[in-house]
Amino acid sequence: MRQHSVADQMVLQLDNALRTLFGPPRVTERPNPAATLSECDLTAAERDRTAQLMRINHAGEVSAQGLYQGQALTAKLPQVRQRMERAAQEENDHLVWCEQRTRELGSHVSYLNPLWYAGSLAIGAVAGIAGDRWSLGFVVETERQVIAHLEGHLAELAPADQKSRAILEQMKVDEAHHASIALDAGGAALPGPVRGLMQITSKVMTGTARWL
């Protein structure tokens, strides 16, 4: 496997940031789970609420890209770095699906996405510097919190909105898979104060992204 220089890594990080924020990101071969489903009739209030939820989830996927790229940048073991990079590519699927659904609902993605990406990149890099066990543990806890958010969003969706539901359900499956992989790879349980700080940070991001 080619060993990238510092300059190479900087160029790759810049490329990933631009693709995440302005597209197109590198995705897997998987189709959009909502592609074959019919659009339903939503009230104006239901459409606005669903668009807000999809905007939050899109912002979360932007943050996930920053997090995974930051961890991959500072991970010490090659196999850990590879896991981070593969997980980031699968998260790109979510990124595309959420943006497509947000646009279909006549809305926009978060205007603060560059801020979410930069902040998460820094957090991911710090987690990687702390050591691979802590970095992987950070992934486990992040994915568990994301799953909790997705469950809440699924409960808010209009029952007839199968397109949004299909996307969130597949995201939930993928996040659980990423958490399992990180745990099996040796992820350490994070201290309670760290988990609490992560929850506070998440609430700030989701609360802001709902409107901006």
CA–CA gap between residue 102 and residue 65 (Å, rounded): 18
User: Does residue 14 form part of some domain?
Assistant: no
Six-digit token string for 43? 């009230």
Structural domain containing residue 163: 47-209
The DSSP secondary-structure symbol of 59 reads: H
User: Does residue 111 form part of some domain?
Assistant: yes
Instruction: Say what the pLDDT of residue 44 is.
Output: 93
In the chain, the percentage of residues whose pLDDT exceeds 70 is 90
User: Does residue 100 form part of some domain?
Assistant: yes
pLDDT in tens, 1-33: 456 666 666 777 787 788 888 878 878 778 999
User: Does residue 13 form part of some domain?
Assistant: no
Question: If 0-12 CB within 10 Å is exposed, 13-18 middle and 19+ buried, where does residue 85 land?
Answer: middle
Instruction: Say what the pLDDT of residue 2 is.
Output: 54
User: Does residue 27 form part of some domain?
Assistant: no
Six-digit token string for 209? 């992204």
The total number of structural domains that make up the chain: 1
Six-digit token string for 123? 């957090």
pLDDT in tens, 51-95: 999 999 999 989 888 887 787 777 666 666 666 667 777 788 999
Instruction: Say what the pLDDT of residue 1 is.
Output: 47
Instruction: Say what the pLDDT of residue 81 is.
Output: 63
User: Does residue 157 form part of some domain?
Assistant: yes
Selected residue with higher pLDDT from 3 and 209: 209
Which residue in 54, 17, 11, 16 sits closest to 156, CA to CA? 54
pLDDT in tens, 136-158: 888 888 889 899 999 999 999 99
pTM as predicted: 0.87
CA–CA gap between residue 49 and residue 192 (Å, rounded): 32
User: Does residue 42 form part of some domain?
Assistant: no
CA–CA gap between residue 25 and residue 164 (Å, rounded): 21
User: Does residue 143 form part of some domain?
Assistant: yes
Which residue in 106, 136, 113 sits closest to 124, CA to CA? 136
- Residue 90 belongs to domain with CATH number: 1.20.1260.10
Cβ within 8 Å of residue 88, ≥6 positions away: 16, 64, 65, 68, 69, 72
Which residue in 97, 92, 40 sits closest to 66, CA to CA? 92
Contact in structure between 107 and 57 (CB atoms under 8 Å) = no
pLDDT in tens, 180-204: 888 887 888 888 888 888 888 888 8
